[in-house]
Structure 1
C-alpha cells in the first residue's frame, strides 16, 4: 500500500455530557521541569514574512477559515500583488539565494521580477499554480487546499544584511507569503574514489534520460560513493536494489535530480547514505496508490538521509520494512501533496532531527505503527510550517516514542500541532505503549476547525481514537501561543468514548487561546502541574465527555497552575473564540473567518469569499434572481453598530448601486429588520465601499443582507462584509 492518508475521517463528537470540575489541591509528585534546547531546527536561511515588508500591494488576513489563501499562509497573512505591484524585503543576513512561497490563481503561471537595491536583475523568479489547488474528495472534511508553492533563485551576487530585495509581479497576480534568504556555499568537489554518474552516461543538462546511468553507477560503487556533479538529471523511473552505497551531490542548490519516484524498494540490507542534492518532482495531485515519493519503502538498517532538498512529491519518505537506526537530518521537505515523512511500523531507533518542512498536504512528520510497532524512535528539533490538511507531528501508536524540541506553526485543517493517537486506519495496528515523551515543543497558531466534528482540534491532542490509551504520556516544557481554539485536547475521535489515561502535563506556558486551555471530550484522567495561562478566550476548561454517560474526565491539580481555573458550564454549546473575556481588539472585524451562507451563488463566487479578509475575492449571487440573501454567523451574540460593505477596489468594477436590507437574528431562525431597504453606492474612485450605520442597541448573532437590485450586474455582490461594534 502506497501513501496511505493519515487525514482520515474524524467523526463529529457532539458537545454533550457531564461536566467535571478541576480537582483542586491534589498533589502529585511529578518533579521539576527539566532544562531543554530551543525548539525547532537550526536552519541555513532566515525567513521574512511578506506582511512585514514594504508593499504597495494588498495585505490579506489574518484568517483561520479553512480553504482561504490567508489561512494557509505562515502567520495567517500574506501580500497580494497585482501586475506592476511589488513587495520589498530588507535582507536579514548575508545571502546569495532566495526562496519564496507564493500562490497564483488556479491555472495560471508567470514571473516575478527581482530588484536588488533598486536594480532589476536579469534573472526572474518563476511562479506557477501547477502544483497547487489539490482536491482530496475521499478525505471527509477536505476542501481544495495546498495553495502555495516554493520557488527558488540563485541571485548571482552577494547581499549583505540591510540590502533591499523587491519582488514585482509582471504578468500574473501573485500572493507572496514568505521569503527565505540564504548564503549558499560553492559546489562541493567530487570525493576521491567515487563513481560519477556522468562517467556512466548521465546527462547534466537534463535533456536525456539518466536513469540507467544512475543504476550503473550504483552497481559500480558498492561499498563506496556515487557522485552526482552539479547539473540537472532527469530520471524516468525509480531506482531499486539500493544498498551499501552513498549517493552524494555537490549541494542541494547545485545537484538536482528531476523525478517523482527516486527510490522504490521494499527491502534493503541497509548502509544507504543519501546526501547533499535535490530531488524535485512533478506531482500535481495526490494519488494514494502511486509511489510518487523520494523514498518509498526501505533503505535498510543503519542508513541516513541528510542535506537534501525534496519538493513537489507526494511524500518525502514513506518508510516501510526495516529502517532500524535510520537518521534523517538537515533536510528541507517542501510542497508535498501528502506527508513529509511517515514511518510505517517495524522500525527501531529512528531519529528524525533538524529538518525543515513547509506546505505538506497531510501530516508533516508521522509515525504509524502498522504491522509492528515503531520503537524507541524520535522526532527532535524540527521546524514545521503550514501543514494544510492534517497535523504537524502525529504519533499513531508505537512504543517508547519521543517528540522533543520541535517548532510547529500554522496548522490549517483536520489537524493539531501535535497528535498523540491510537487511530489505527488499518490492521494490524499496535497502540501506544511504554513511555511517550513530548518535551520542549513550541506550538504557534496550531489547532484547527474540524468540519466533521463541527468543532475544533486543540494545539496538542491526545486521542484514544480506536482503543483505550494506557501508555505513560509525559508532556513537559510546552509553549502554546495564539492557538485559534484550545491548547490541550483529550478526545476519543471515533466518538466511542475510549478512555485516555496516564497523562501528565508538567510545565506549560499558554498564551492567547481562542477558547479554552483544556478541551476534554472523553473519559479518563490527566494531571497538570505548573501550567500557566494568559489571554484565555472563553474559559479554562471545557469538560464534556462523549457519549453521554460514558464516564468523566478528571483533571488532577498537581500545583503551580494559574490563569485557567474557570469551567465552561454549558455542554450543549461549543465555546466560540473570545467568549467570556473582553475582546483584546474591540475594533476587530467580527465577521472575518466566520461561517457564511447564501440563498444562491454563481460558480466559484461562494458566500465565504465575503469574509475571507481579501477584498479581491467576492460572493456573487445566482444571476437574474433577485432578491438574494447572504448570511453570516458571528458565533455569539454581539452588539453591532457598523457594517462596511466592499467590492473589489479595481477600476474594472465600474460604479454601481445595490439596494440592500439589513436583518438580524439571535437564534438563527427568526429575523427582524435592522435597517430597511436602502440604496448603497459603490464607486472604485472612492474605494468601492459603502458604510451602514446600525441603530444603537442592535444586538445579533446572525447578520443577513438581502440584495434587491444592482445597477451594475444582475446579482448581489460583496467582496467583504465587515462587522464592527463601534461606529
Structure 2
C-alpha cells in the first residue's frame, strides 16, 4: 500500500513576512505559435444545466470565492438553495432518460428530492445525503472543511425530450442544487461471446451477498479472455489482485455496478488489462491517506486500458505506480473522490489520459508526480474538470516531455490553480521537470484561488520552481483564461526560496476579466510573451516582485502582438485586491476592500469575505447565539489607518440596532493591541446604517471583536472599510 503524499503537499514553507509577498515566482515559459484548436475538454454523453439558470422558487446563492462556502465550491460559483416545498425546474436541453444532480445538504442530514416531468410527479425520488461530504483534512496546511457537494444519479423511467420541464422539489431536508446532467442512457449491452460471467461463478447481482470470490474466480478462469459483469449490483468486501491479461467488462456504467471502495490493488502486472463499461461506487466518507481506497491502486501493467467507467465515492480513482507503460484512460467519469481523480505516481511512460470528466475532487483532479522515476512522454488531453475543491485541476510535479493539452478546467478552490507546472517534490527521489513541457490549447474558467497559507492568490496557470530551478523548456500555447478571480499566469517559487523559473514562453493567449493582474511574477527568471491579449484587467497588467527581496529579477520579454496589459503594479509592499487598480496616495482608497478576511464563525453563506467585497447588500453574519465573535481583515501591509467605516445593508428592512464592539490591531497577525475600547455603536437605516470609528494606528491586521447586538444574536457587517484619513 502506498500512502498518499498530499499530507506534505500543502505544508508550504513560506516565511512569515509583513511587507513582501511571501511567494517566490517561477520562470518564464516558451510558447509555440498558436494554431486553430478543436473545442477544449472531453466529448461527453450528457449535457449540463446550471441550477442558477433554471426556474426556481428557492434562493440563489453566490457568486463567492471565499474558501469553504457552498457558493465557492459550486459550478459557476452559484447554486440554488431549496427549503422544504421549494423547487428548481430545468428545461431539458436534449432527449434524456437519466439525470445526475450535483447537490449539497446540511452536515449530518439526508432526505430526498421529489422529481417532476412536465408537472407530473414521478413515483421514484432522488435520494440526497451529506454522508460523503464535509471532509476534514487538518493535516493539510490551510485546509478547511471542504467537499461540500455530492452527485446523485437517477434513471427517470421514461424519456424526456428537449424542451420538457424536469423539476426537483425538496421534501424533507434543505437541498442546495448546483447543476444537473441530462443523459440518454443506452440499453444494457449484451454478453460478449465466450466471456465468463461473474454470476456463473456465484456473484450476487442483488448486492446482498459478498461477490468478491466470484470475481476472483471469474478473472482466474478468463485469463486471455473476458469477464462479464451482467446488469445488477455486486458487493465486494476486499480488493482484487493478480489481475493481468484479461478484459473485465460490464453492460454499461448505469447497468453494471460494483459496490466497494477498493477494486484492484496490486504492485505489478504483466499487463493487457482492460476495464470497461461498469461503475465502481465506494463508501469512502473520510480521507485516510494510508488506506488504498481506490478503484486501481498500483499497476495494471503495460498496454492496458480503462474506458467507459463511472467511479464515485472513492479516495482516488486511479493511483498508478509501477509499470503502466502505454496505458490509455479515456471516456470515464470520476466523481466525488476525497483525494485525486488520477495520479501517475512515477515511472509512467507513454500514458494517455483523455476525454475524461472529473467533478468534485478533494485534491488534484489529474496529477503526475515523478517520484522514484520520472513520468515520461505522457499526457493529459481533452479532459473536462470541474470543482476540484482543495488543489489543482491538473498538476504536473516533475517529469520529462509531458503534455497538457486541450483541457477545460473550471472553478478551482483553495490551494490550487487550474494548471500547475511544478518542481515541488514532496519526497525523494524526485525527478524535476526536464525536456519539453507542452501546455497547449487549454481553457481555464474561474480558475485560481486565494491561498490561505500564502495569504495571497494562486493564478489560473501556475509555473512553480518550488524545490529547484526550472530547467525544462516550458511551452504554453493557445491558452484561454476567463473570469479568473485573481491572476492569469503566475510564476512563483512556492517554498519562498527564490529558485528561478526559466525557459518559458507564453504564446497566443486570450485573457478576459481577471480580478487582479495578467502576470503575477514572484521569483527570479524570465519569460517571453507573444500574442497575449487581455481585456477587463482588474488591477494592473503585471505584478513583478520577486521574493525573497534581492534574489534576482524576473524578466518579461515582449515578443510582439501583446495588448491590454502593459501597466505594472507599483507597490511591492501590497498585494492588489481584485479590481483595486494601482495603489497611490489617494487617502480615500478603501484599504480593506477585497482583502483576505477571516472570522470566528459564520451563519449559512454569510462568510467573512462578504464584509469586504464592496457590495453593501451582502454581509457577514457570525454563528448565532455564540458571542463573542470577531472578524479579522489582512490589509496586506502595515498601513496608517485613521478611520473605519462599518456598515449594515442600507435596506429599511434592516431595523435599527446597537452592536457592542472593540477594535484591535496587529502588525504581525499574532500580537494584537486594543485600538478602540469596547463600546456600543448605533446602526440606524435612517442614517444609512453606517458607523464611523476614529483610529490612530499603524497596523496590517484589523480585528473587530463583537460582544453584543440588540437586533440579532450575532455579529453583522455588510462592509468594513479602512482609510488613511
Alignment check: 8 A CA contact 1:132 1:149 kept: yes
Paired with 2:605 and 2:232, the residues of 1 have a C-alpha distance of: 44
Per the alignment, residue 38 of structure 1 pairs with 39
Per the alignment, residue 608 of structure 2 pairs with 608
Paired with 1:429 and 1:329, the residues of 2 have a C-alpha distance of: 27
Paired with 2:606 and 2:87, the residues of 1 have a C-alpha distance of: 29
Paired with 1:315 and 1:593, the residues of 2 have a C-alpha distance of: 35
Shift of 1:691: 6.0
TM-aligned CA distance change 1:17 to 1:666, over 3 Å? closer
Q: Secondary structure at the match of 2:480?
A: strand
Which digits, 9 at most, give the CA deviation of each residue in 1:469-515, with x for residues without a partner? 00000000000011111100111111111111110101000011111
Per the alignment, residue 23 of structure 1 pairs with none
Which digits, 9 at most, give the CA deviation of each residue in 1:590-641, with x for residues without a partner? 999864456x66999997397599989941477576xx66565688999979
Alignment check: 8 A CA contact 1:63 1:592 kept: no
Q: Secondary structure at the match of 1:69?
A: coil
Per the alignment, residue 374 of structure 1 pairs with 375
Deviates more, 1:329-338 or 1:511-520: 511-520
Per the alignment, residue 275 of structure 1 pairs with 276
Paired with 2:107 and 2:687, the residues of 1 have a C-alpha distance of: 30
Alignment check: 8 A CA contact 1:394 1:421 kept: yes
Alignment check: 8 A CA contact 2:271 2:304 kept: yes
TM-aligned CA distance change 1:456 to 1:709, over 3 Å? closer
TM-aligned CA distance change 1:118 to 1:94, over 3 Å? same
Paired with 2:30 and 2:292, the residues of 1 have a C-alpha distance of: 48
Which digits, 9 at most, give the CA deviation of each residue in 1:654-704, with x for residues without a partner? x9973137999999989789x9833669xxxxxxx9961579x99x99998
Per the alignment, residue 254 of structure 2 pairs with 253
TM-aligned CA distance change 1:547 to 1:355, over 3 Å? same
Paired with 1:315 and 1:66, the residues of 2 have a C-alpha distance of: 22
Alignment check: 8 A CA contact 2:644 2:720 kept: no
Which digits, 9 at most, give the CA deviation of each residue in 1:541-597, with x for residues without a partner? 111111111110101110001111111111111111101189xxxxxx999986445
TM-aligned CA distance change 1:257 to 1:512, over 3 Å? same
Q: Secondary structure at the match of 1:213?
A: helix
Alignment check: 8 A CA contact 2:14 2:22 kept: no
Paired with 2:462 and 2:523, the residues of 1 have a C-alpha distance of: 12
Match of 2:10 among 8, 12, 36: 8
Per the alignment, residue 716 of structure 1 pairs with 714
TM-score by length of 2: 0.88
Alignment check: 8 A CA contact 2:661 2:706 kept: no
Paired with 1:363 and 1:517, the residues of 2 have a C-alpha distance of: 24
Are 2:469 and 1:468 aligned?
yes
Q: Secondary structure at the match of 1:72?
A: coil
> Considering only aligned residues, what root-mean-square deviation do their CA atoms show, in Å?
3.7
Per the alignment, residue 266 of structure 2 pairs with 265
TM-score by length of 1: 0.88
Q: Secondary structure at the match of 2:220?
A: helix
Which digits, 9 at most, give the CA deviation of each residue in 1:210-252, with x for residues without a partner? 0000000001111000000000000000000000000000000
Per the alignment, residue 689 of structure 2 pairs with 692
How many residues in Structure 1 have an aligned counterpart in Structure 2?
694
Per the alignment, residue 132 of structure 2 pairs with 131
Are 2:189 and 1:185 aligned?
no
TM-aligned CA distance change 1:254 to 1:581, over 3 Å? farther
Q: Secondary structure at the match of 1:310?
A: strand
Alignment check: 8 A CA contact 1:656 1:710 kept: no
Per the alignment, residue 684 of structure 1 pairs with none
Shift of 1:705: 7.1
Unaligned runs of 5+ in 2: 584-589, 668-672
Alignment check: 8 A CA contact 1:536 1:581 kept: no
Paired with 2:478 and 2:711, the residues of 1 have a C-alpha distance of: 58
TM-aligned CA distance change 1:690 to 1:717, over 3 Å? farther
Unaligned runs of 5+ in 1: 21-27, 583-588, 650-654, 682-688
TM-aligned CA distance change 1:297 to 1:55, over 3 Å? same
Paired with 2:48 and 2:536, the residues of 1 have a C-alpha distance of: 28
TM-aligned CA distance change 1:302 to 1:181, over 3 Å? same
Q: Secondary structure at the match of 1:575?
A: coil
Shift of 1:40: 0.3
Alignment check: 8 A CA contact 1:17 1:549 kept: no
Q: Secondary structure at the match of 1:551?
A: coil
Are 2:681 and 1:677 aligned?
yes
Shift of 1:56: 1.1
Alignment check: 8 A CA contact 2:607 2:619 kept: no
Per the alignment, residue 577 of structure 1 pairs with 578
Q: Secondary structure at the match of 2:181?
A: strand
Alignment check: 8 A CA contact 2:683 2:690 kept: no
Alignment check: 8 A CA contact 2:23 2:492 kept: no
TM-aligned CA distance change 1:490 to 1:624, over 3 Å? closer
Alignment check: 8 A CA contact 1:218 1:245 kept: yes
Alignment check: 8 A CA contact 1:660 1:706 kept: no
Paired with 2:630 and 2:210, the residues of 1 have a C-alpha distance of: 58
TM-aligned CA distance change 1:154 to 1:664, over 3 Å? same
Q: Secondary structure at the match of 1:70?
A: coil
Are 2:206 and 1:205 aligned?
yes
- Higher relative contact order by CA 8 Å / sep ≥ 6: 1 or 2? 2
Paired with 1:111 and 1:268, the residues of 2 have a C-alpha distance of: 43
Q: Secondary structure at the match of 2:531?
A: strand
Paired with 2:117 and 2:260, the residues of 1 have a C-alpha distance of: 33
Alignment check: 8 A CA contact 1:335 1:358 kept: yes
Q: Secondary structure at the match of 1:113?
A: strand
Q: Secondary structure at the match of 2:508?
A: strand
Per the alignment, residue 352 of structure 2 pairs with 351
